[in-house]
Structure 1
Amino acid sequence: MGSSSLSIANFRFEQRASGLGIHVTTPRLSWHIDAPAGLSNWMQTGYQVQVSRRRKRNGETLSFGVQSPDTVLIPWPDTPLNSLERAHVRVRSFGTSSGTPADTEWSDWFTVEASILDEDSWIAKPITSPTDLPGGECSAENGFRPMRFRKVFDVPEKAARSRLYITALGLYEARLNGRRIGDECLAPGWTTYDARLQFQAFDISSFLVAGTNILVVDVAEGWYAGRLLWGEGKSRIYGDRIGPLAQLALFDSDAASTPSRWIVTDETWECKPQATTSSSLYDGETYNLGLEYDPWDLNDSGWSPAEVLEPVRSALVPSSCDPVRVTQVVRPVSISKDPDGKALVDFGQNLVGRVRIPLLARPDGHQLVMRFAEVLEEGRLGVRPLRQAKVTDTVIFAGGRQLENWAPRFTYHGFRYVEVSGWHPDDTEGPLTLDSLVAEVLHTDMRRTGHFACSDERVTRLHQNVLWSMRGNFVGLPTDCPQRDERLGWTGDIQVFSPTASYIYDCSGMLANWLRDVVAEQAMNGGIVPLVIPNVMRDGPWPTVPQAVWDDVIIILPWNLYRNFGDAQVLRDNWPAMESYLRSVRRASDGLWDPALWQLGDWLDPAAPPHEPGLSRTDGVLVADQYLVHVTSLMAKIASVLGHADSADMYTREHARLKQTFQDKYMAKSGLVVGDSQTSLSLSMRFDLHATPEQRKVAGDRLARLARYAGFRISTGFAGTPAVLEALTQGGHSQLAYRMLLEESCPSWLYPVSQGASTIWERWDSMLEDGRINPGEMTSFNHYALGSVADWLHRTVAGLSLLEPGWKKVLVSPKPGGTITSAQGRFESPHGTISCRWELVEDNRMVRVHLTIPPNVQAVVDDPRGEYVVGSGRHIVDWPLPKEEEAWPPQKQVIAFGM
């Protein structure tokens, strides 16, 4: 077959589509192959990479040929890049289709440019506003007033190339000559600021002009100095002065890697308060139109000299993942009045972001106040779950100005509803209408990879709810919730959710970046992984003690990232921290967890009282021990991947010993488990803790019996919920798993759906059946953790799962069940699109499977009549509907006790 029918697609450097400001000297390359519909069974045999580096070789191109089937995270073939150096890369692949040679054409040329990789190259100084600046700094109670910093500079002639490298102690936005630089939001993002401070790189070549230029940087307190944590919270955790740190580089030629001139933050800059008088992540922003001014006016004498701060002590690191951006605009679906006559705007979807107002005119002194919440209670905004977060944006009209294209810039809200005061549908002039405002959705701009739908609209909506909760809580780091006075990187949440997250979005870059903060915080805590990262609870309110499930993130998350994205580097980077964590485990004499240490365990068991979510029916230490045996087995696998033969052997032996110890301590010879709960049985099956298949069958049958006892309602908490449907399926009871999935009474996955939820709730009953909000203090309507059930939807209902890291080999094994008559899953893998769609045919006696496999991938098809392997291409196969041991059970046979 001619090479013109095959092409290189989705070329990437590291985990990024853009090569600008790359954070390593040897960026790895990835691509996949686009093939015509008729091409089948294509496998790569080798590839060729060409690299052009003008500075080093005067444009000479070197070629590197490699015999390899790999196209994901290919090692950089050339010598390392220098700081700020550019190179141009193109690739082509060689392969065969059913034994016939079939090669691609050369790809386009792609440019990679290193960021500032040597900290000594940072000559800029962090700057701030004087503490006695009139109107500059608000009280400690209200936080910092956002500040504006300005630099006026001349450029004799336009540079061939120019770059801006910028960060802030706080959050920043930058503009040059009136134009916004980049489209990032909430930059530079939240990291462990006392260990790592990220900076971003921007191409500003088209922004500069010959002559006078004005660079303006707006800075707000953000996570750096703003209030964090619940209750009274903590402020100024990382510092008590805010301001930018920036370097603008001018290059004489396109090939140069040494700037001819730097413009840097220093004492020559000037500053002035913004018209935004307060900005808080929890409380929102206040904007006073009467204080607005033109920052480009060089005749304005109201600017004051900036002050230089001490050098930044933390490491300055280039951003290694995609930033937070506006990814979608949502229009309101209705406007109504609450019982007090206030306007309520409903966006029809619980989302995370901000409201933008295109245009609004009101007389001086008028105030527009917007409060945000996820739900209504008795027709009013349900703000009690927000606790001490005010979540309010205010606009003060003054100076004869009107509001134009305004949105808060340094805060975000979790909301579906907006209560609007000062703007009403009944206004005679400029009434509030559906066209008056929009919601902008904010989250890390990851590539969407996973899709799911089925014949049951409720289950499809459940999956959409999982998607929206992930979007709302991946805001630079994986948070627990996006609305109340918390929004922290709880380690347990992402640990249980990471298999689901890795399917829905390519989150590899963001989570690998966050793991760097996990390692940094762990090192500052004596090997113990804190419960939240960045760790703003170092001095309370929770003690820093080892905790299973949560701390296990340092082993489980890198392993899941490696499995899903094929990146062994994430294992190498975190291996020392993994071993350090296992040394921190407080053990009893038998090597399992010390039972004297209280464990969070199966947190949020539905049987626990609303105000005591840790009182689960499954002992926390039992859950901790199950996880310890499991992560020890993962350590043996990780050591093997990394080539640590001695460690692999040691952890293999340790796993066998701990597994035996667990069996002796907690298991009957029959296979039943102490505690006799759904969680204890599910985790034992999922982590393969039984000694024999016969014991597993007894445990699986007992789990099925408990599911019936519970009326198919949820009886598991934080640890057990991700495992229970998988364990039922492994135990031969997939029909019971479907029955549990499709239950609508509370607690169940579909109860929130039946109540109109558009995201995953923190509690099964965050909203009670009578429309009242759960009285518990922890009541969020946007928490992704319980959405981990989507992993089972992907693997069992849609039938797609991986067999080799990076989806190089996949398993196709849909298990139809329940009342679902069709389903489909599509995954944009590192190698291309993998999809499986099935429907029942021939009077529901047969299953017709439509399968698409991309080039360079093989699939193992789990046909009930026997497994077989297929290569790339499109396949349609019919197989008989498997006969289960038990038919679909529509009735609740026993009502659960204590529910």
Structure 2
Amino acid sequence: MTEPISWTGRMIAADDEFNGAPVLYRCVELEGGHGPVAEAALTATALGVVTPLIDGRPATDELLTPGWTSYEWRLRYREWDVTALLGDRFELALALGNGWRRGKLSWLGARNVYGDQLAGFAQLRIRFADGHEQLVVTDETWQAHAGDVLANDLYDGEHIDARLRDSEAATAAVHAVAFDVTQLEPFEAPPVRPLLEVKPERIWTSPSGRTLVDFGQNLVGWVRCVVRGPRGETITIRHAEVLEHDELGTRPLRTAEATDRFTLSGGDDVFEPTLTFHGFRYAEVDGWPGGAEAIGEGALTAVVIGSDIPASGSFASSDPLLNRLHANVVWGMRGNFLSVPTDCPQRDERLGWTGDIAVFAPTAAFLGDVSGFLGDWLRDLDLEQQNADGVVPFVVPDVLKHVVSGSEFPPQDSTAIWGDAAAWVPWALWRAYGDRTALARQYPAMARHARRVGTLLAPDGAWDSGFQFGDWLDPDAPPDRPADAKADTAVVATACAYRTARMLADAAAVLDLADDAAEFEALAARIRSGFRVRYVSAAGGRVHSDAPTVYVLAIVFGLLDESEQMAAGTRLAELVAASGFHISTGFAGTPFITDALSETGQLETAYRLLLQRECPSWLYPVTMGATTIWERWDSMLPDGAINPGEMTSFNHYALGAVADWLHRVVAGIAPLEPGYRVIRFAPRPGGGIEWAAASHRSPFGLVAVRWELRDGTLSVEASVPAGAAGVLDLPGRASVSLAPGEHRFEVPFGAGA
């Protein structure tokens, strides 16, 4: 049903919340005399999370609806076609849970952040063959009953008691809850749902006698449990990403219990804790009937969940470790793109940190169609910013404003990289998809951020005041002081401010906003001048603080003159060599360092850095068995001990932003014009890699490239979709225009070519 929805239902809550998981219900009888049902659409949302049920069965496989948005201003709803599920008489129900609204949020353990009452809202519109419509809505005539859930929390887990399934459920009345229906919005993002299932690779007994299960992959979701045992006994499943000293490594979870409990009915039970999720590879199982030896095939299955983002990109090469690194990036994105782009999916945090997605957005837009997912999240960024005097918060939705005092965390104000997500993310989406309407929708937030930053600059254009994360998680910083980086924070901030101002000038030009384009051109020029006067030495192009990150940003963001660019690249290569070709950059520098090297003639240095296997490096975690991207280069130490810092995650996608360079430079696919209307095929072989390939499903269709080096000959195959054009750019050769279709080239490559 496509016509606009007229809201007539009420938001209702149970008089008894039944352990935080009430089921709201009413019996429905189809109105007679109108022929068969032609169409039935169910619309639902909740203050909390909701699973719609028809005759006790889920009406959809979607999970944790309506997800997490800035609830102060908007609440999403979903609509499902339920025509095939309706009988002449049926029970319509809404099973509620705490979700983000009322469960624990942040490392401070805050609860009831957005309210202390769970409520559901639904409208079922039934259209019959003769055109008659029957409307069923939530109102005070509904009732509530207890379900089988005794506790539910996103961080701590879920307790399901199967005995309640075959007993008479306690019931309660319901009451209406004040709610402004103008806050209701349809989903733009794809829903959360089960994505795939993973079987255990190993089940064994630990040195302490615990039953451990290895699913072989760090993932996000839960364990489905199929079991039969004595009535009233409880199975406990704890989750963690790693083992430490051959036992479950739970310390990185901090206060998150990440534990599910299943109480048996005495018959055949199936448990799925759909009101929570965990980040884990390993599970510890306690209380299994008959012990570990009785856990049969199919008894335990890891169900992977996440926002259902269509995959659009691939990468492969002749280097198995590089391929595993790329797979880790994909898994990290899958696990953290769950309703919002979170920093991590396992500990007592799981927040939409803006800095992480600011640097990762180009990678995300290659790997999946994230236009809806990130477009929807940007709606919340815009709303939070509008209601905070133009400040882009550290996290979106901004839970921190509700739970953190100034003594516990720096006051939120405009910051480089984190605040720059307002500009960098929509610009990455524009480059990937070429959607002018989407860019125009986000432009006010982009401009609002850039203008606020402009007010924070010194008279000469440098950004040298206020709190900055800077080159966060510099590997040389102490574990307990992640902001203590080698790169001067003012250099980092000023460079990022310039990049943002440049993006705004370009975005304004795209949108035909001539006055704004001139304004931001002038702002960019002012910042660049300030950067150069303050931080670039007149002799040799040295950049203040002489750390790798400051050269990286100066090169990639265009803050140096042509004569200085190569000198900066040479200095950067010297610093990389001095570090033993190990990573020595943090959040600010790492996403761009390979680009800075390859753009200044230091391609082999970039490859040596990329392919380094010792810590800190991208491949060190791979050699340690990582199946996702780590938060710290040494989240696990070489001896198998977990990093002693309080902030240690084994699933953080941000440092996987290097995959963007794998796609554009190693394989050689990049949009030369937004939306891949014109495609640049520019592979840059190196590092001993014999072949590489990548593909991307662009708005015009599939783009693909594959190259191979054999006996001094470089063979390149390129595929250009209909409606697009390509340009082949090979080292030392004139560019070649490519029409739609399949192309193959062979050229001499290597010494003397």
TM-score (norm 2): 0.96
Deviations 1:187-224 (A, max 9, x none): 111101111100000111111222x2210110001001
CA–CA separation in structure 2 for the residues paired with 1:884 and 1:314: 69
Q: Which amino acid aligns with 2:124?
A: L
* CA positional deviation for 1:759: 0.3
* CA positional deviation for 1:401: 3.6
| Identity level (%) | 41
Q: Which amino acid aligns with 1:476?
A: S
Tell me the SS of whatever aligns to 1:727: helix
* CA positional deviation for 1:114: 4.3
Residue of structure 2 in register with 1:855 after alignment: 722
Residue of structure 2 in register with 1:457 after alignment: 320
Residue of structure 1 in register with 2:511 after alignment: 642
Mapping 1:276-315, distance limit 5 Å: 276-293=149-166, 302-312=170-180, 315=183
Verify the 8 A CA contact 2:462 2:530 in the aligned structure 1: no
CA RMSD of aligned residues (A): 1.7
Verify the 8 A CA contact 1:375 1:416 in the aligned structure 2: yes
Which residue among 762, 769, 773 is the counterpart of 2:631?
762
Verify the 8 A CA contact 1:115 1:318 in the aligned structure 2: no
CA–CA separation in structure 2 for the residues paired with 1:483 and 1:816: 37
Tell me the SS of whatever aligns to 2:723: coil
Residue of structure 1 in register with 2:7 after alignment: 122
Residue of structure 2 in register with 1:156 after alignment: 31
* CA positional deviation for 1:883: 5.2
CA–CA separation in structure 1 for the residues paired with 2:309 and 2:277: 18
Residue of structure 2 in register with 1:196 after alignment: 74
Q: Which amino acid aligns with 1:403?
A: D
Residue of structure 1 in register with 2:676 after alignment: 807
Tell me the SS of whatever aligns to 1:743: coil
Which residue among 128, 131, 142 is the counterpart of 1:269?
142
Which residue among 36, 39, 55 is the counterpart of 1:177?
55
Which residue among 206, 212, 219 is the counterpart of 1:351?
219
Deviations 1:46-87 (A, max 9, x none): xxxxxxxxxxxxxxxxxxxxxxxxxxxxxxxxxxxxxx5xxx
CA–CA separation in structure 2 for the residues paired with 1:371 and 1:352: 14
Q: 1:293 to 1:521 in 2, by over 3 A?
A: farther
Who wins on radius of gyration, i.e. which is larger? 1
Residue of structure 2 in register with 1:363 after alignment: 230
Moved more, 848-857 or 375-384: 848-857
Q: 1:318 to 1:501 in 2, by over 3 A?
A: same
Q: Does 1:552 align with 2:420?
A: yes
* CA positional deviation for 1:657: 2.4
Q: Which amino acid aligns with 2:23?
A: R
Which residue among 536, 539, 553 is the counterpart of 1:683?
553
Which residue among 433, 437, 448 is the counterpart of 1:569?
437
Mapping 1:731-750, distance limit 5 Å: 731-750=600-619
Q: 1:426 to 1:370 in 2, by over 3 A?
A: closer
Residue of structure 2 in register with 1:390 after alignment: 257
Tell me the SS of whatever aligns to 2:707: strand
Moved more, 245-254 or 681-690: 245-254
Q: 1:814 to 1:126 in 2, by over 3 A?
A: same
Verify the 8 A CA contact 2:215 2:281 in the aligned structure 1: yes
Tell me the SS of whatever aligns to 1:448: coil
* CA positional deviation for 1:829: 1.2
* CA positional deviation for 1:501: 0.5
Verify the 8 A CA contact 1:443 1:474 in the aligned structure 2: yes
Instruction: Give the structure with the higher percent helix.
Output: 2
CA–CA separation in structure 1 for the residues paired with 2:687 and 2:680: 22
CA–CA separation in structure 2 for the residues paired with 1:673 and 1:125: 61
Q: 1:696 to 1:882 in 2, by over 3 A?
A: farther
Residue of structure 2 in register with 1:783 after alignment: 652
CA–CA separation in structure 2 for the residues paired with 1:712 and 1:261: 69
Residue of structure 2 in register with 1:74 after alignment: none
Verify the 8 A CA contact 1:194 1:314 in the aligned structure 2: no
Q: 1:180 to 1:719 in 2, by over 3 A?
A: same
CA–CA separation in structure 1 for the residues paired with 2:292 and 2:326: 40
Q: 1:817 to 1:652 in 2, by over 3 A?
A: same
Verify the 8 A CA contact 1:196 1:315 in the aligned structure 2: yes
* CA positional deviation for 1:874: 1.2
Q: Which amino acid aligns with 1:126?
A: M
CA–CA separation in structure 1 for the residues paired with 2:492 and 2:182: 37
Moved more, 785-794 or 267-276: 267-276
CA–CA separation in structure 2 for the residues paired with 1:370 and 1:869: 58
Q: 1:447 to 1:260 in 2, by over 3 A?
A: same
* CA positional deviation for 1:314: 6.2
Deviations 1:388-416 (A, max 9, x none): 00000001124x34313x21011000000
* CA positional deviation for 1:614: 0.5
Verify the 8 A CA contact 1:342 1:424 in the aligned structure 2: no
Q: Which amino acid aligns with 2:212?
A: L
CA–CA separation in structure 2 for the residues paired with 1:883 and 1:730: 20
Which residue among 221, 232, 246 is the counterpart of 2:122?
246
* CA positional deviation for 1:590: 2.1
Moved more, 156-165 or 528-537: 156-165
CA–CA separation in structure 2 for the residues paired with 1:471 and 1:802: 23
Residue of structure 2 in register with 1:409 after alignment: 274
Q: Which amino acid aligns with 1:462?
A: L
Residue of structure 2 in register with 1:531 after alignment: 394
Verify the 8 A CA contact 2:336 2:343 in the aligned structure 1: yes
CA–CA separation in structure 1 for the residues paired with 2:29 and 2:518: 65
CA–CA separation in structure 2 for the residues paired with 1:577 and 1:305: 44
Q: Which amino acid aligns with 2:284?
A: E
Tell me the SS of whatever aligns to 2:498: helix
Q: Does 1:490 align with 2:353?
A: yes
* CA positional deviation for 1:650: 2.0
Tell me the SS of whatever aligns to 1:838: strand
* CA positional deviation for 1:293: 3.9
Q: Which amino acid aligns with 1:635?
A: L
Tell me the SS of whatever aligns to 1:564: helix
* CA positional deviation for 1:235: 0.8
Verify the 8 A CA contact 2:477 2:484 in the aligned structure 1: yes
CA–CA separation in structure 1 for the residues paired with 2:736 and 2:289: 64
Q: Which amino acid aligns with 2:379?
A: R
Specify every segment of 5 or more residues in structure 1 that has no aligned partner in the other structure, as ranges.
Answer: 1-83, 85-112, 139-144, 295-299, 886-899
* CA positional deviation for 1:309: 1.0
Deviations 1:280-327 (A, max 9, x none): 000000011222247xxxxx6842221111123661001112111111
Residue of structure 1 in register with 2:491 after alignment: 622
Q: 1:884 to 1:375 in 2, by over 3 A?
A: farther
Which residue among 91, 107, 125 is the counterpart of 1:230?
107
CA–CA separation in structure 1 for the residues paired with 2:544 and 2:107: 37
Verify the 8 A CA contact 1:276 1:285 in the aligned structure 2: yes
Q: Which amino acid aligns with 1:227?
A: K
Tell me the SS of whatever aligns to 2:400: coil
* CA positional deviation for 1:180: 2.0
Specify every segment of 5 or more residues in structure 2 that has no aligned partner in the other structure, as ranges.
Answer: none
Deviations 1:588-632 (A, max 9, x none): 432535523121010000000001100001111210100001110
CA–CA separation in structure 2 for the residues paired with 1:882 and 1:509: 43
Deviations 1:454-493 (A, max 9, x none): 0010000000000000000000110000000000000000
Residue of structure 2 in register with 1:477 after alignment: 340
Q: 1:301 to 1:321 in 2, by over 3 A?
A: closer
Query: 4+ residue stretches of structure 1 with deviation over 3 A?
Result: 424-428, 591-594, 882-885
Q: Which amino acid aligns with 1:636?
A: A
Q: Does 1:373 align with 2:246?
A: no
Mapping 1:93-172, distance limit 5 Å: 113-116=2-5, 121-130=6-15, 133=16, 136-138=17-19, 145-157=20-32, 158-172=36-50
* CA positional deviation for 1:137: 4.9
Q: 1:650 to 1:708 in 2, by over 3 A?
A: same
* CA positional deviation for 1:851: 1.3
CA–CA separation in structure 2 for the residues paired with 1:804 and 1:884: 33
Verify the 8 A CA contact 2:204 2:292 in the aligned structure 1: no
